[in-house]
Amino acid sequence: MNTMSENAVVTRLIVTAVGNQQPTITTTANGRDQASLQLTLPSLIIQFTSCEQVQHLRGLLAFAGPATMGMGQHHHVPLDNFDVQMRNTITILKPQAGTVTRELISGRMPYIVIHWGPLTWRILDRTAYESLTETLERAHKTAATVFPDGHRHRTDPTRPNWLSNTNNTHQMNSKLAIN
């Protein structure tokens, strides 16, 4: 007899990104209250429900840029080019706070850790970082046209003065701690 439930509550999802993420972006119900933008990565699908959410994640990733200094361009690790058998899906219902840290594998290989709501991303190389950065730029531009809040959240969050010009600084609770 199987006593395990098929339902579960996941409070933290950890995703490791290495190499080109080969993402896709799809949208549904453009311009309506039920609009969504789906970002599909090798082991993760993120479903956004507002432009503000995409803007904040893009800003957080840009904030991590200085932490990429010294990271390798591309690492060949067992996770690289693996055949994904399972994809996790998270739906973001409100803007998430986030943090960025730089850590070391075996005391010498730097990588970035981004905590964003229920998601923790470990970005192991510059190729993964650049792939995610470019993808979130496209996703943000798309989100500005798809979501009803797009006109309020189309400002480029990679600009240095973005947080000082927004009313959402409390939601973009970001810090950069470099080890």
pTM: 0.81
Helix, strand, or coil (residue 25):
strand
Lowest mean pLDDT among 4-13, 17-26, 30-39, 123-132: 4-13
Name the residue ranges covered by the structural domains of the chain. 13-178
The 10s digit of each residue's pLDDT in 19-28 is 888 889 999 9
Instruction: Please state the separation of Cα 73 from the chain's center in Å.
Output: 19
**Closest to 116 measured CA to CA, from 57, 39, 64:** 57
Lowest mean pLDDT among 60-74, 121-135, 144-158: 60-74
